[in-house]
Structures are given as C-alpha cells and as structure tokens.
Amino acid sequence: MKALMKLINGEMALVNVPEPSPGPGEVKVQVKATGICGTDLYGYSAVKPPVIIGHETAGEVVEIGEGVKKVRVGERITTETTAYICGKCRFCQNGDYNLCLERRGLGSKINGTFADYFVIREESIHPLPSHIDFFTGALTEPLACATHAVMEQGETLVNDVVLVLGPGPLGLLVSQVAKTKGAKVIICGISGDEKRLTLAKNLGIDFVVNLEEIDISKLLRKITKGYGVDIVFECSGSPAAVHLGLELVRKRGRYIQAGILHQRVELDFNDILFTREVCLIGSHTQKPSSWVKALGLMEEKKVNLKALVTHRLPLREWERGFKIAKEKSSIKIILYPD
C-alpha cells in the first residue's frame, strides 16, 4: 500500500509498504479520511522516524485480531492516538494516558494513518456517531484536544469570560467547546486570519477580534469591568500571543497553553505568579475521558466540525495539502487514500 512516511533523514515521502495485519487485541482499519495536523507540518519532537505519520482519522474496520471482543468488521470508527501505554504507571492508573512515561502514539512512534490501512489496539477504537461522515469524523481527535483543554485543564464554567488566542483549527474548536459550557468567548487573530475570523463569527463566537484593528485592552475593560479575562487559551503557539494572554488574564485567572510553542519564552514570574497569582496550566493532547466528552458533543450536535473542513485531497496530493495547510486561508485539510 501507499503511505506517507517521515524518513530517517527528516524528509517526507510517499512510499510503498506492506499492508499491516492486526496482532492479538488489535484491529485493522481501512482509512477513509485523515486530517493534516500542525504537528505533521512543523516537525514535532515526539515523531520518531522512520514512521508513517497521520493521526486524526476515521475509517472502517476490515479485520480483527485474536481476542478482539468489542469491535466488529464493517464498523465505522475513529480512534484515540494511544497505540501503546504501560498500563502500570501512576498516570495510566489515573486514566492520564497522555502522560504515560512509555506511551507510544499513532503517527509518531507507531505507524499512523496517512495510508490505506493501519492497525491499532481495540481499546482505542470508538464508533462514529451515525450522522457523522468520515471527513468530519477525522476531526474527533482535535476536538478531544479541545475538550481536554477547555473542560479538563481549564475547568471552564458558565459565565466565564474566555479569551482564545489563534483562530486556527484548535482555536476554533476550543471556542466552540467553551461556548457549550456557557462561557462568553472572545477569539483573536491577526491580519491574514480574516477567513478564519469570519468563520468564528458564523459559528456564533461572542466576540471576534482582529488584534491589528481592535484595541483588545479597551474591549476587555468594557467586558470584564477592568479585571481581565477569567481564562486564556493560547492556541497559536506564538510567543507574542503568550505575552498578550498573560497580560490580559485577571488576577488569579487561569492561563492554559494549548498550542505547541516552537520557541522558548521568557516570562516575568514575579508579575505573573507572585503579584497576580495567575495559574499557569498545560494541556497535552487528549486522554480517554476527553474522547468521551468530544464524542458526546458530536452526538448531541453541539459543535460544528464540518465547517472547519476547507479542503479534501487524495493522499497522492499530500504535498499540495501540506502547502495549503500552512496558508491561513485554509482551516482543516483532509487527505483520503486514492
């Protein structure tokens, strides 16, 4: 089969590899759709080549391994990205699979889903809600990252004033999930983000701000009576956004780093932690409880995933897909096997 592989020299190539077959407790899935993630685009330290990349996926079960009980051939599914966990460490015991010391992820340490087929442990599989098509179903993983950030790490509550920095796929999902919790959401972008900001407006986000056109401090003085926002979700991965978020969060507010930063950031801990008691929180991918929450929101039609899918391309056009994914005029690009 054809598969998009990250090679040992760091380059990406469409290669011919044998079809995988499921071991005991594993399921073989025919890929129908896989989304391009920021981690595929910009290189990510967890990816250990040579490996087939891709992890935001939906497909159909075509074969089950020995001992598989809950999953059936022909089922329409999506999958968690956990391909292996130790099951014994304190994080595993607590359901925090994302933090397991020996975790191996689909498309980073284990062959992923930019291919015709992949195999994964039965426990990671979830059936897709019946009204969700495969292209939309591929967004379950990024949605689970958003439910993890908003519900589990941010503990967002009704009436919280929430600031989302960065209107990319993650920011648009985080904003929608925060809305389902009854928060008042302000999403921010910069010039070039117009298309994404327009979508945010169409999705019903309360305040949509181009930071180069609107004075955010002035707007927040009005909305928060000068206190600052209750929660910041930094979804852009830009150091400038980190500084802005930390400036705009209120005393004892919560700052959640949801996007990946590719540079070190220098922080004034005296101001942030000592003077203002701001709570700094991390949010790393997703874990089983985040998937249950994400699929629940999909089942109840509380989030619009379909609107985020701007491009669908065959896998053989992956280079074009990756190029488009780096442009801010796109949102989510889905690749499907030819």
Q: Which residues bind Zn ion (CB under 5 A)?
A: 37, 85-86, 89, 92, 100
For residues 130 and 135, give the distance between their C-alpha atoms in angstroms, rounded to a whole number: 13
- In the complex, least distance from residue 206 CB atom to Zn ion, rounded to whole angstroms: 26
Cα 187 to Cα 196, 211, 294: the distances in Å are 10, 10, 20
The whole-angstrom separation of Cα 114 and Cα 233 is 29
**Closer residue to Zn ion (CB): 13 or 86:** 86
Q: Is residue 54 left, alpha or beta, with left meaning phi > 0 and alpha meaning psi from -120 to 50?
A: left
**Residue 207 Cβ vs Zn ion, minimum distance, rounded to whole Å:** 27
Confirm if 58 and 77 have CB atoms less than 8 A apart: yes
Looking at the Cβ atoms of 55 and 254, the one nearer to Zn ion is 55
Q: Which residues of 69-85 are buried (b: 16+ CB within 10 A; e: fewer)?
A: eebeeebbbbbbbbbbb
CB of 35 to Zn ion, least distance (A): 7
Question: Distance between CA atoms of 115 and 232, rounded to whole angstroms?
Answer: 37
Nearer to Zn ion, 224 or 236 (CB): 236
Is the Cβ of residue 86 or residue 157 nearer to Zn ion in the bound state? 86
In the bound complex, what is the minimum distance in angstroms from residue 34's beta carbon to Zn ion?
Answer: 10
Q: Which is nearer to Zn ion, 46 or 86 (CB)?
A: 86
CA max distance for the chain = 62
How many residues can be counted in the chain? 338
Question: Omega before 49 cis (within 30°)?
Answer: no
CB of 167 to Zn ion, least distance (A): 17
Report in angstroms how near the CB of residue 286 gets to Zn ion at its nearest. 9
Count CA within 13 A, CB hemisphere, residue 246. 23
Q: Which is nearer to Zn ion, 37 or 208 (CB)?
A: 37
Task: State the nearest-atom distance from the C-beta of 55 to Zn ion, in Å.
Answer: 6
Look at residues 260, 264, 253, 98 and name the one whose alpha carbon lies nearest to residue 166: 260
Helix (H) or strand (E) holding 314: strand 309-314
For residue 118, report the phi and psi dihedrals to the nearest 5 degrees: -145, 165
**Cβ distance to Zn ion smaller for residue 85 or 220:** 85
For residue 51, the minimal CB distance to Zn ion (Å) is: 15
Identify which of residues 150 and 246 has a Cβ nearer to Zn ion in the complex.
150
- Beta-carbon contacts of 127 under 8 Å, excluding residues fewer than 6 positions away, are 75, 76, 77
